[in-house]
Amino acid sequence: MSDQPWLEDACSLVDAFRSGETTPREALDATLAAIGDSQLNAFSYLDTEQAARAADKADITLPFGGVPIGVKELDPVTGWPYTEGSLVFADRVADRTATMVQRLRAAGAVLVGQTTASEFGGINCTSTRIHGTTGNPWNPELTPGGSSGGSAAAVAGGLVPIATGSDGGGSIRIPAGFTGTFGLKSTFGRIPRGPRCYQTPLTVTMGCISRSVRDTARWFDVCNGFDSRDTLSLPQVSGWESSLGSFTESIRGMRVAIAADLGAAVVNPDVADLVVEAGEALLATAGLTREDLAISLPSAGLEWAMSNLATLAADLGERYPECNDMLTPEIQVGMNIAMHNFNLKMAGSNEEFRVKLNEAMADIFERVDFVITATNPDIAFDAAGPLRTVVGGRDLLAELDFERALGNNGALTIPANLTGNPAVSIPVGTVDGMPVGMQVIGRHHAEQLLLDLSLLVERERSWPLTAPGAPC
């Protein structure tokens, strides 16, 4: 074992433990050294003593036995800080551990520490007043995305082979797309959100940022399944890793629509061209049939934001509005709009919109089995923000299309959150030296088909497991 952290995928690290090539403690020490040397600001907290104890007694027969992982700071771990990326909760300590993290520990994972996230998971870059700005390992001046930006930076930057993520509007897929990593947003409820989770707004799913398809499949094998503390969680399924590649024949002949902009976003033409080219290559490899289907989904940014801010208001409680100046500008604006405009009439309007979007998505999947789009409208933007409003030469603010300008960054990912469909971001190349993700959306409960499509891409046009120069 060298003194460098493991730069392959997590499954191969477990294999290396079992073959005697290296040990969990050696892997952890290399990981901690790399984190200490890193300039990415991907971690906000390290628990080195606990991690060392876990590594020393790791059971390498378990699925993630001895693997050092990062935990997104929105996922509570008992005894760790639980700031949710906000100064408002700078002194709060978690009194519970997320169900997903409990299951990872039981599967042998070594919890290294917390990865940075955007404040309350609210925006598409990772820059907060409490922890500063996280850089993209492909170019530290640019963002790794958000809200799982620290997890994506840590995995792509060679610091840990896998890390937790959550996706309420694209927060796994967006950073996966920006950093050249792999990210699956599952069908709503696949992995429990508890304990003590909000039921509304019915958009958030749990998962991971990984380097390979098999790592994500193993993660879901370990973490999925009903838990009574999340009453909307789904029954357990199994065998995702062992069945990888077994759906190739059943996929052949299935129907696909390619719509780089999903009829909802303004997309950089170079990004769109790359996604279309990769999509057509996947169709040829998988034996899929392309359907000429015009897709035009309604813009969902405002409805998504308002529904999510209701639970944020509950979190802040009586601290708001006195805590307003402690919030990042984007959260300030969102809370101000919600407090002054969100009422029973808007709540009803939001529900009507959700029905409209569900019907539109259902209509699409009556005609096709998959929809291929870009993951992000453009490549990564400035690390500290603001969100990009000029795309492909179009200045959306100058066009006075304020709703589109403010919602464009999530316009490709939010629809699948509101409807609960599974969707995956697959690395397919670069534009101007920065990664581009191809998103594939599937029918509810079709994650295994999405994983097999992703596996075909991984085999035919393999992506770099880490950014150039990793560890960064």
Q: What is the per-residue pLDDT across 173-230, written as a single tens digit (0 to 9) for each?
A: 999 999 999 999 999 999 999 999 988 889 999 999 999 999 999 999 999 999 999 9
All residues at 6 or more sequence positions from 46 whose CB lies less than 8 Å from its CB, including other chains? 32, 35, 112, 113
Distance (Å, whole) CA 52 – CA 46: 11
Whether 165 is covered by a domain: the verdict is yes
Distance (Å, whole) CA 212 – CA 459: 11
Structurally, how many domains does the chain consist of? 1
Residue 301 confidence class, pLDDT cut points 50, 70, 90: low
All residues at 6 or more sequence positions from 354 whose CB lies less than 8 Å from its CB, including other chains? 303, 418
Distance (Å, whole) CA 114 – CA 159: 12
Give the pair of three-digit tokens for residue 110: 């070594």
Whether 224 is covered by a domain: the verdict is yes
Whether 372 is covered by a domain: the verdict is yes
Per-residue pLDDT tens digits for 93-139: 999 999 999 999 999 999 999 999 999 999 999 999 999 999 999 99
Q: What is the mean pLDDT of the chain?
A: 95
pLDDT of the residue at 101: 98
Residue 400 confidence class, pLDDT cut points 50, 70, 90: low
Whether 467 is covered by a domain: the verdict is no
- Give the dihedral sign, CA 55/197/189/177: negative
Whether 3 is covered by a domain: the verdict is no
Whether 53 is covered by a domain: the verdict is yes
Whether 5 is covered by a domain: the verdict is no
CATH of the domain at 178: 3.90.1300.10
This prediction has a pTM of 0.97
* % of the chain surpassing 90 pLDDT: 85
Whether 335 is covered by a domain: the verdict is no
Strand 132-133 relative to strand 127-128, pairing: antiparallel
Question: Is the pLDDT reported for residue 1 higher than 60?
Answer: no
Measured torsion, CA atoms of residues 31, 41, 175, 276, in degrees rounded to the nearest 10: -90
Distance (Å, whole) CA 396 – CA 389: 6
Residue ranges making up the domain that contains 251: 10-302+341-460
pLDDT of the residue at 432: 97
Tell me whether residue 158 is exposed, middle or buried, using C-beta atoms within 10 angstroms of its C-beta: 0 to 12, 13 to 18, 19 or more. buried
